[in-house]
Amino acid sequence: MRGALQETVIEGIKTNVPRLNTVVDERWLEVAVHCAAEQVDFIADLLLARGAVSVTMDGEDPLFENKPGDTDLWAQTRVCGIFDNAAGAIEADLPVISEELSSLCGGFDVRRFADQNWEVTSRERSRPIAVTDGLWIVPSWCEPPEPDAINLRIDPGMAFGTGEHPTTLGCLQALSTLPLAG
C-alpha cells in the first residue's frame, strides 16, 4: 500500500444496492489501483470478487463517445473499488488484496470515507455555469451572475446533473445559435 489508512471524505458517491442506502453512518473503503488499460477488466473483476459494491474507472483526460465496438480506455487507468467496511471485514482482507494487486500493478491507495447526503453535498458545490455570452445555468438557490442574461433555472439532480457535462453544454450552445423569434 502507498500509505497508511486515513480518514478522508469523498463526495457524491451513490449506489443502488439497498443494504448500503439504509445505513447512514457506515464507514466505507475505497481501493484505487493505477494500472495499464489491458489490466482494467481483470482488476475490476478482482475488486468485485473481493466484495466491492461499486467499481469505477477514470483517467487523466475525459473520454467521450466511442464508436460502436470501441472499448478505448486510458493508457494508464485508475480503477476504484468501493467496499462496505462493516465491522472492519475489508480491512482484515487488505493483506490478501494487496498481495493479489501487487503482482499486477505494484501497489494501490486505500482511503476511508463516511456516507454523505448526495443532495446536500451537491448543493454546496453547485454554482452558476456560463454556457455562452448571455446564457447561464443557475441553480435556484444561487443569484444569477448576470441578471439581464438568459438564466436557465435548473437544480442539479439525478436526471439533469450539474449542467457541466460536455453534451449538455454542447446542446445548449447549439440551441443558443438558433433564431427563436415567433
Domains and CATH numbers, the chain: 18-116 (3.30.70.260), 120-176 (no CATH)
pTM of structure: 0.53
168 confidence band (pLDDT: 50, 70, 90): confident
Q: What is the pLDDT of residues 75-131, one digit of tens each?
A: 788 899 999 887 677 777 888 888 888 878 866 888 888 877 767 777 777 889 899
Q: Which residues contact 122 (CB under 8 A, 6 or more apart)?
A: 12, 156, 157, 162
5 confidence band (pLDDT: 50, 70, 90): very low
* Distance, CA of 162 to CA of 118 (rounded, Å): 13
